[in-house]
Chain A
Amino acid sequence: MKKHMLKVSRVTKRFGGLTALENVSFRVAENELLGVIGPNGSGKTTLINLINGIHKPDNGDIIFRDMPIHRLSSYKIAQKGIGRTFQVTRVFRRMSVMENMMVPALSISKSGTQEALLPKALEILALLKIVHLKDEYGRSLSGGQHKLLELGRVLMLDPDLILLDEPFAGVHPELKADLHDHIRKLHDRGKTFILISHDMHSIFSLSQRLMVLSSGEKIAHGTPEEIRKNEEVIEAYLGN
């Protein structure tokens, strides 16, 4: 049995009168690739926001490698090795690509200088095939390049757990294939992923395991094959 990296137990989050997540529990093993699906408003993004500390849960706890993290600030969680991307990309628009890369790199290395971290940044940019853009400003990049830069930034954090929020939304098919490739490669290198996507084809082909949310509740989990057959899931997606 693989060791569990992340344990989310009975987590509840409300915004005013609205319950975004209700009593959700699940676990993620080391080097697993967990997909999360669910209709709009089912609480997927809230879940990621809770794990990386942008929101605090009203109830329940989140444990990352035996350490409770649900009361920690985002930046501490990031430094502990959880990185994320955003559904609507949030690159630093008035900073160059290289500066974007340096922010996470410098935040985790107390003593590192920009020069020392440069090779690593170039390597990652090369991997993502955007090294030629390194001196461009964030705002002058295309939407797809923003997705790549965000991924590159996360990699500079060198996280063990990566949370991807709709990485394929609005992405050119060619780039989508590239992104698949990058995720697989990183997974092979030992990274753990939680992946949210509406892109059923992508998520079913990438994920080892899937969890389904609906109206803030977990309604199913299992291997892609199991989920495909699950009545409740079909109900949630197609019902009314």
Chain B
Amino acid sequence: MTEYLILQALNGLIIGLIYALMALGLTLIFSVLKIVNFAHGELYMLGAYFSYYLAKMFGFPPVLAVLSSIIIVFFLGVVIEVLFLRPVYTGAVERKDEYAILITFGLSIFLQNLALFVFGPWTRRSPSFVSGTTSFCSLSISNDRLVVSALAIVFMVATLIIIGRTFIGKGLRAVSQDREAAAIAGINPFKMNLLAFGAGSALAAAGGALIGPIFLIFPTMGAMPVIKSFVIIVLGGMGSIKGCIIASLILGEAESLGSVLFPDLTRGLAYKNAIGLLFLVVVLLLKPTGLFGEKHVRMK
């Protein structure tokens, strides 16, 4: 029994790391722009498709395909920010919060259907990073999952270092705490918006591109992960990067263990996706700031 639970926990850890990558981008965007990006799942999906096509049609090696796809989606994010989100900060829109929700939601409808039209509905799978499986005691894990968890950790550490240690990170943090004060201190908040949205999109794309060989690629593949990311950012506290990483691991574990410890075993899997949502609802009701969030942020 203990061995069994340890194995489940290990599986949950890997899944949690994968979740973290996508939620990290959402958190970064929220902390700087104070916007929940409802089109995040579509950026994730595009990341997966770009890397798939780069690998399949142009013969890019898998890791290079992932990196190129991340760069493409970074610039896509920049374009989206300039075209659609800029008005929120120039005072051109009346209801900022709601505008941001609706416009990103609209973008998600648009991008999802565009992908359906351009790429077709077929299910695809990216080539493996490293094929085969590795065994530990009685658990065998596919090499893809191991590689992806390792890469997820690399991306997360890189993000943390950039935000915590570099000049750009300082700017991002300053804007996330107080736009006006940052502007007075000589930081251009518009530039930081651009950077944060681009980087957030790139992280989503990284998630999607890495997932390609593990789960499959199809136009609506972002729908479920984006909801999981919502759960994570609420649980971790909107805008808190540390909280986001911890919440991802909690969610991964909760799903892995929860669905096998569910009282009615035959329906554990049927309710698996509800576990996280229940977290979200309860956290919002009892402690809207989440586990690590600072104060309740609302756009001014």
Contact = CB atoms under 8 A, between A and B. Distances in A.
Bind each other: yes
Interface of A: 93-94, 139
Contacts of B94: 93-94, 139
A179 B94 CA distance: 29
A163 to B, nearest CB: 23
Interface string B202-218: 00000000000000000
Contacts of A93: 94
Which secondary structure dominates where chain A touches chain B?
loop
Interface string B78-96: 0000000000000000100
A94 B94 CA distance: 9
Nearest to A16: B295
Contacts of A139: 94
A173 to B, nearest CB: 27
Nearest to B295: A16
Nearest to B95: A94
Q: 3 shortest A-B CB distances, which residue pairs? A: A94-B94, A93-B94, A139-B94
A131 to B, nearest CB: 26
B21 to A, nearest CB: 33
A130 to B, nearest CB: 22
Contacts, number: 3
Interface residues of B, number: 1
Which secondary structure dominates where chain B touches chain A?
loop
Nearest to A93: B94
A139 B94 CA distance: 9
Contacts of A94: 94
A206 B94 CA distance: 37
A93 B94 CA distance: 9
B288 to A, nearest CB: 16
B241 to A, nearest CB: 22
A38 to B, nearest CB: 23
3 contacts: A93-B94, A94-B94, A139-B94
B97 to A, nearest CB: 14
A164 to B, nearest CB: 23
A15 to B, nearest CB: 10
B270 to A, nearest CB: 43
Interface string B59-99: 00000000000000000000000000000000000100000
B87 to A, nearest CB: 15
A94 B95 CA distance: 10
A95 B94 CA distance: 13
A139 B91 CA distance: 12
A109 to B, nearest CB: 30
B92 to A, nearest CB: 13
A93 B95 CA distance: 10
A146 to B, nearest CB: 16
A28 B94 CA distance: 40
A94 B93 CA distance: 12
B75 to A, nearest CB: 36
A145 B94 CA distance: 19
A210 to B, nearest CB: 32
B74 to A, nearest CB: 36
A219 to B, nearest CB: 30
A69 B46 CA distance: 57
A30 B94 CA distance: 41
A99 to B, nearest CB: 16
A141 to B, nearest CB: 15
A122 B94 CA distance: 28
A192 to B, nearest CB: 33
Interface string B90-132: 0000100000000000000000000000000000000000000
Nearest to A139: B94
A217 B94 CA distance: 39
Interface string B139-182: 00000000000000000000000000000000000000000000
